[in-house]
Structure 1
Amino acid sequence: MADPTPVLDDLRAESDELDGLVAELTPRQWTLPTPAPGWTIAHQIAHLAWTDRSSVLAVTDRDAFACEVEKALAAPGDFVDEGAEEGAGKPPGQVLADWRAGRDALQDALRAAPAGARFPWYGPPMSAASMATARLMETWAHGQDVADALGVTRAPTDRIRHIVRLGVRTRDFAHGVHGLPAPFEEFRVELRAPSGETWTYGPEDAADRVTGPALDFCLLVTQRAHRADLALRAEGPGADRWLDIAQAFAGPPGAGRPPEGAGRDAGEGPTR
């Protein structure tokens, strides 16, 4: 039974780092476009606030969360955008305050959750550790969108180990959402952490393997960079196909970003 404390601590640190990027922005900067088409920095933070609020409901009020799921089922293509749009229409100070309040409430709720508890979600139910991992992944990915909009290069930390683990675990899911059969054999994944450590998954003698920087793997599975721009290496046809479709987030396949240097016409916009 996974102890959620380490990932909750890292989620808090990841959120604080992103908070530091946006806390002193001017109202004009909150309206800067991000790589997600139609989304400004305000939309990105409002989306995080909306998802944290939904997560708190899932943990503390299942009936209220069930109502939110019904709304999502009624408008499956719109509810995420609508939540971000509604939040982004508020003054920047309110958007920031809502996000801070929501993420603090989620920390409190998950830390107080009974051991072994599982909570409903828009996909399969999740444990406290799994929910915290998903929130860290989203916070990091949307933080990348904000950093890109501001022209800021973030120094990666070993907090991304949670995203790496999630990306590895969702290999079969990524195949399923593309209508492809999941590989029968395990893959070997060897990634270089920001600290210089090597993170490994799967059997050493696997025929298919993925190697490279952990940061690049995270950018790939969150679809924040095109595979062609990343220093990831695939050995074996199965691993090669996986790197073309990998995604660590729930929902249908995202379009991802076009290669650097390609115009917007060369590919779809990035996933949200």
Structure 2
Amino acid sequence: MSAVAEVVADLTAESDALDDLVAGLKPAQWATPTPAAGWTIAHQIGHLLWTDRVSHIAITDPDVGFQELMGQAMADPLGFVDKGAAAEAARPPAELLADWRETRAKLAGALCAVPAGTKLPWFGPPMSATSMATARMMETWAHGLDVADALGVHLEPTDRIRNVAHIGVRTRDFAYTVNGKQAPDEPFRYELKSPAGDDEWTWGPDDATNVVRGSAYDFCQLVTQRRHPADLDITTVGDDAAEWVTIAQCFAGPPGGGREPSTDK
């Protein structure tokens, strides 16, 4: 199986897990607020649908359709994405869910069909099909956490979150950039325990002076800003790593507001 096919398989499984959460909801439950300020469950699914659709356009119609979207984004850089989510959230839940299912299936097929070495246009730097699939996996997982929180349920983490951890590591310097800071010259070492606790996932040189350690599940919540750092099983060695934990962000856009610390301590 190719690298992109492996990530797409994880993306499909993660989407299906989130689908299972919302498929049986009554229409009124789609209006349940989630931890993302101003966003209901319908907004969460609407945003995933919107982004899956845009990703499909970037693959299948990069020169016209996607360029039109780029123009809209440049005209309203701060509100473009939220308006898309809101428009989708206003649809009847059954229609929204059916469209998401169809669109994500089309995207999965399109991603696997992208020729090796092709760079796909995006609102940031162009990316490979594997990188786009990884980004979709990360966002689907993160929105799934918000939906689960809204419903008061816990989703058991799986090894699929290694994709999320990977993008969290790869976007280290991005977090500094969007916060107006200079990224350190030296790479970090990351040592993360897999969800089952029987494996350690590592990135970076063994002799790095800055190290981030802890639960892979908590690390993924950190880089997607779904939990406050104080509530996570994450430790650091070195001043730079300690600072990075406070600004870590693997999703595009301006600096995220993060979440408040838990009051259940």
TM-score, normalised with respect to structure 2: 0.97
1:100-249 equivalences under 5 Å are 100-196=101-197, 197-249=199-251
SS at match of 1:233: strand
- TM-superposed CA distance for 1:115, in Å, is 1.1
State the partner residue of 1:266: none
TM-score, normalised with respect to structure 1: 0.94
State the partner residue of 2:261: 259
State the partner residue of 1:268: none
**Cα deviation code 1:151-171 (max 9, x no counterpart):** 010100000001111101111
**Cα deviation code 1:117-146 (max 9, x no counterpart):** 111001000100000000000000011110
- TM-superposed CA distance for 1:205, in Å, is 1.4
- TM-superposed CA distance for 1:251, in Å, is 1.4
SS at match of 2:3: coil
**Cα deviation code 1:225-266 (max 9, x no counterpart):** 00010010011101000101101111111011111129xxxx
Q: What letter is aligned with 2:212? A: V
Q: Does 1:35 align with 2:61?
A: no
In 1: Cα distance, 2:85 partner to 2:169 partner: 29
In 2: Cα distance, 1:220 partner to 1:194 partner: 15
- TM-superposed CA distance for 1:195, in Å, is 2.5
- TM-superposed CA distance for 1:3, in Å, is 2.4
In 2: Cα distance, 1:181 partner to 1:159 partner: 31
In 2: Cα distance, 1:69 partner to 1:258 partner: 33
Q: What letter is aligned with 1:10? A: D
Structure 1 unpaired stretches of 5+: 263-272
In 2: Cα distance, 1:114 partner to 1:252 partner: 32
In 1: Cα distance, 2:214 partner to 2:206 partner: 16
Structure 2 unpaired stretches of 5+: none
Q: What letter is aligned with 2:238? A: G
State the partner residue of 1:58: 58
Q: What letter is aligned with 1:132? A: A
State the partner residue of 2:45: 45
In 1: Cα distance, 2:3 partner to 2:40 partner: 35
- TM-superposed CA distance for 1:50, in Å, is 0.3
In 1: Cα distance, 2:205 partner to 2:127 partner: 27
- TM-superposed CA distance for 1:78, in Å, is 1.0
State the partner residue of 1:18: 18
- TM-superposed CA distance for 1:59, in Å, is 0.3
In 2: Cα distance, 1:28 partner to 1:214 partner: 35
Which 4+ stretches in 1 moved above 3 angstroms? Answer: none
In 1: Cα distance, 2:3 partner to 2:259 partner: 35
Q: What letter is aligned with 1:219? A: Q
> Identity percentage over the alignment?
59
Q: What letter is aligned with 1:179? A: G
State the partner residue of 1:267: none
- TM-superposed CA distance for 1:39, in Å, is 0.8
